[in-house]
A and B are shown apart, each in its own frame.
Chain A
């Protein structure tokens, strides 16, 4: 079945450092890929998405490129801020061979120090 694997956290960085959070996936078809962010005490919200190979999703300075050849969707940001401290979830949705119901990774906690 479909699955998403994320790097374990927490990831601890200083402000203005470069961020990479790795995400790889297993899917039967051609999935859509997503990154969601969860700020403390809140629900998840969509950060960015890509629906086909080589697409790049971007939002709020974050980027991720859909790499079919490596089945990856790594999240990057060039210069993190304290306000980026949150838990980040990679997810996929994979109809019709798989399921349209999203499959989420376990989440990666990011802590950014001033």
Chain B
């Protein structure tokens, strides 16, 4: 199993550009989520999904869209990038929503918005 994969690893955008961060998992996990990690802020939840066709907002959803058309994929879209979205983005998955389940994280995408 590849686990959770994310592409690209690095990306530089100009303000106003759009892009999609890809996330895929091959563990048949129901639950997937996106976090951003900023210095001194820890991890903040952007969006999450409890299964194909179901998504919901996390703590910091503004400026981001998601969809979940398959169990495996959970892309994160930036429609109009802003410098405040410069961050490291992590995708995570878990078998289901049970509280004791481990979160499996991807390697991250480092995004810079100029």
Contact = CB atoms under 8 A, between A and B. Distances in A.
A51 B100 contact: yes
Contacts of B102: 34, 46, 49
Interface residues of B, number: 22
Interface string A36-73: 10000111111001010000000000000000000000
Interface residues of A, number: 23
A102 B107 CA distance: 18
B105 A44 contact: yes
Interface in A91-111: 93-95, 100-102, 104-107
Contacts of B27: none
A32 B103 CA distance: 13
A7 B40 CA distance: 12
B53 interface: no
Given A44-B90, A104-B43, A93 B99 contact: yes
A21 B52 CA distance: 38
B98 A101 contact: no
B42 A102 contact: no
Interface of B: 4, 33, 40-43, 45, 48, 58, 90, 92, 97-103, 105-108
Interface of A: 31-32, 34, 36, 41-46, 49, 51, 89, 93-95, 100-102, 104-107
17 contacts: A32-B100, A41-B107, A42-B107, A43-B108, A44-B43, A44-B105, A49-B102, A51-B99, A93-B101, A95-B99, A101-B48, A101-B58, A102-B103, A104-B42, A106-B40, A106-B41, A107-B42
